[in-house]
Structure 1
Amino acid sequence: MSDQVSYGYQQVDPAEKTRRVGSVFSRVAKNYDIMNDLMSGGLHRLWKDAFVNRVKPRPGEAILDMAGGTGDVAFRMAKRGADITVADINPDMLAVGRDRALQRGHEGLVWQVENAETLTFGDRLFDGYTIAFGIRNVTDIPAALREAHRVLKYGGRFFCLEFSTTEWPVFGEVYDAYSHKVVPKIGGLVAKDEEAYRYLIESIRRFPDMPSFRRMIEDAGFTQTRVEPILGGLVAIHSGWKA
């Protein structure tokens, strides 16, 4: 890694980014889901439905849901019979997820604190690896992608749902203005933390575009990579296979 990495629009030491991102998610954990609804107008639910439909989890499959936090994607996959391990670097996010699982009657999920860059799992354990709206917050993204490849079985599949840059000009300009000017204000009112949501929006802007991220996935060893843009690329589903 280089000596400096992006934390929103700032350049900081890698360890400092990891610390700051951890602080952001600890602060927003309790309001994370309601903020997702407010920021996206509820669209994040449809995006996650589409994502899980692409993953096609099957009964008995072992799937690692990295950065699974509050369980939104994990619950959808568990309903289809897959055996889900929910992993997140932030214990506060996992605590919210566990509470939601108890409230909703989701049993049998494994919850584990893990750093995406240095997973503690052995090689070739999982049939699938999913990460939704989490990869852009990883300090060393190539390392996380290599780890995803390592823990997948041969024939295993990688799926990532992440914000990107929409290719619809007018819509893109409107969304850019909304995200930079309105979302942090909503974060301040609802989550009492404007700075945290300013970072989250800035992190979207600093994330690689769709072709660049696809190349990163290929560089990690995945084949048959694919990108499926949603709303012109505002959000994208990235996928690949371990041959």
Structure 2
Amino acid sequence: MSADYWNTMVLPMLEGAQMTVLLFLIAIVVSIPLGFGLTLAVKSSSKPVSWLAHTYIYVMRGTPLLLQLLIICFGLPMLPVVGEYLVLDRFAAACLGFILNYAAYFAEIFRGGLLAIDKGQYEASQVLGLSKWQTTTRIILPQMFRVVLPAVSNESITLIKDTALLYAVAVPELLHFAQTAVNRDFTIVPFFIAGIIYLIMTLLLTLLFKWMERRFKYE
């Protein structure tokens, strides 16, 4: 295979990988704090707020991400009266779908992290005269973060791989260009290259979280 052919095949796939990385960054930056907010809502003393948060998490975790993407991209514009106002750019719609879905998963991860904190930590903070805000930010959150970091790492790696679902809603990402090359050239080589690119991205992400785990382990 000539260098020109490789450029024709690989360069578009690298451009698609940029779209993959962009979606990942947007989804992870927004869904993590949103997930933590949902965790707080679940623990709220207000029963309606807690119930709504529980219901949201159940629905988003209980239905396929692909179905949610299809509803946001193609279903919402079909709603009577308001549908015309819910037409979104495909990439924006995909970002919204990923954020809403992964926020529910991160909420459960954070809830598990909070449950892992011994109640004595709260009592000790009260004895020391710390306010609720100080207890949360200085005592509880740092410990929770250490506990949930491995689970957040796994979920983030899953997010990288799930970006391939963009292909189903016609957003030109890595897999889209790989499939285009396969159909054009009648070879499965582009699929292997796409797999290598995904492996590189997940490897870099894994190394980042391993470094974070080592750092927070000794703090």
How high is the TM-score relative to the length of structure 1? 0.25
| Higher percent of residues as helix | 2
Which protein has the larger Cα radius of gyration, Structure 1 or Structure 2? Answer: 2
Which structure exhibits the higher relative contact order, with contacts defined as CA atoms closer than 8 Å and separated by 6 or more residues?
2
How high is the TM-score relative to the length of structure 2? 0.27
| Higher percent of residues as strand | 1
